[in-house]
Structure 1
Amino acid sequence: MIQKDFFKEKSAHYKSKSGSLYYYTKEGVYRYSNHWGRVANCRWSIEEIEDYKNQNYYVGYANWEDFFKLNSVEKVFYLKVDIEKGISKILKENKSDNDSKYLMSLEFAFKRQKEIKSLFKNYKWAKYYNEDINVLRSDLIKKLINSNKTLQELKLNLKKSLFEKP
């Protein structure tokens, strides 16, 4: 997210039919809009907003290198999660990375991201475990971003492992 007054100092390079403004640089693009998520052939997410409300205007920025095809079925994406801040980000594999990451298709990464958001937002699921929710959440998220097992399977396995503790 960028300060809302960004476009007061700059004139937009493009204005969409819905009223979104775009300002292009060599490094990336600034966008002023009141709608985020899937837009035309892009998926935009706005971060660092405590109380996001659709139809409120925000200014966001994205580097050109962060854009990728939405219809990708190749397993070249992975999730990076900041447990402390409660946010997850989909990243594209960088061939120069030496870290081994669990790679997934873009569609699967979006599904996982939605499940992770739900784990941060909802608390009812944790009452059946008799364990600290932060520990449970962290454990489940680590397993979600490193596995193709369903969230339900992971929760059941977690429950079994907790009952097997001495």
Structure 2
Amino acid sequence: MEEQVAKVKKFTRNNFFKNTYCVFRGVRLREISRRKPHYRSESGSTYYYTTNGVYRLSNHWGRAAKCNWRLVSEIPVEIDDLRLGYADWTDFRENLSEDVDAYYVSVNFETKTVSYKHKDNPDYDQIAIIRPVDATRKLIKQIKTLLEDHKWAKYYDYDDLDEFRKEIILELVNTNKSLKDIRRELAAG
């Protein structure tokens, strides 16, 4: 039997906007100061193409038409609500249909932040459960509550709240157990 190799779709300026997922890195506006936009969308976002990727200047990130484009940036807003992001063509992934398991949850316990990433991310640890987009969003919401609030923890016996939080969150991320099931196990144990 022949081993099937997953075919990775190659994205370019001609197809990156067709049903894709991508994480753009925030960059300063000076990166495009001498460039003219190659395209302006109906919603006002502007795109600047390079050989290796694309700059996107926009006041909205997340869902863009049938795409899921996130911006990860430490750079403060420089003009109005506009943020500039850059992504290499190789950063784009096919945005699979909503019922296909395509995303995993990533948590940074130091900064108390949670995000989702595409299963084709080279940093994927092969441990976190891959889920469809809606289940991933629901899980992120639950994890944000666990990270930001502490009232839920008053019903449990623990020594260190941050370690307790981490234990519960990792179980949510790395198993198919629901928060309700985990809480039930903690109450019984």
| TM-score bin, normalised by smaller chain | 0.7 to 0.9
State the distance in 1 between where 2:155 and 2:59 align.
39
Q: Which residue of 1 aligns with 2:4?
A: none
| RMSD value, Cα | 3.1
1:147 aligned onto 2:175: yes
Are the counterparts in 1 of residues 68 and 95 from structure 2 also a CA contact under 8 Å?
no
Q: Please report how far the alpha carbon of residue 98 of structure 1 lies from its aligned counterpart in structure 2 after TM superposition.
A: 9.7
Q: Please report how far the alpha carbon of residue 72 of structure 1 lies from its aligned counterpart in structure 2 after TM superposition.
A: 4.2
Q: Point out which structure has higher relative CO (alpha carbons under 8 A, 6+ apart).
A: 2
State the distance in 2 between where 1:57 and 1:98 align.
30
Are the counterparts in 1 of residues 93 and 120 from structure 2 also a CA contact under 8 Å?
no
SS at the partner of 2:33?
Answer: helix
State the distance in 2 between where 1:9 and 1:158 align.
58
The percent of aligned pairs where both chains have the same amino acid is 33
Deviates more, 1:92-101 or 1:20-29: 92-101
1:67 aligned onto 2:89: no
Q: Which residue of 2 aligns with 1:46?
A: 71
Q: Which residue of 2 aligns with 1:19?
A: 44
Q: What pairs up with 1:3-152 in 2 under 5 angstroms?
A: 3-49=28-74, 56-64=81-89, 65-94=91-120, 100-101=126-127, 102-131=129-158, 132-152=160-180
1:9-65 per-residue CA deviation (whole Å, 9 max, x = no partner) reads 32222111221112233443322111222221112222245999xx72211233433
Give the residue type in structure 1 aligned to 2:113: I
Work out the number of aligned pairs and report it: 159
Are the counterparts in 1 of residues 45 and 59 from structure 2 also a CA contact under 8 Å?
yes
Q: Which residue of 2 aligns with 1:2?
A: 27
Q: Quick check: which one's helix share is greater?
A: 1
Residue segments in structure 1 that go unaligned for 5+ positions in a row: 162-166
Residue segments in structure 2 that go unaligned for 5+ positions in a row: 1-25
Q: 1:35 to 1:144 in 2, by over 3 A?
A: same
State the distance in 2 between where 1:48 and 1:96 align.
20
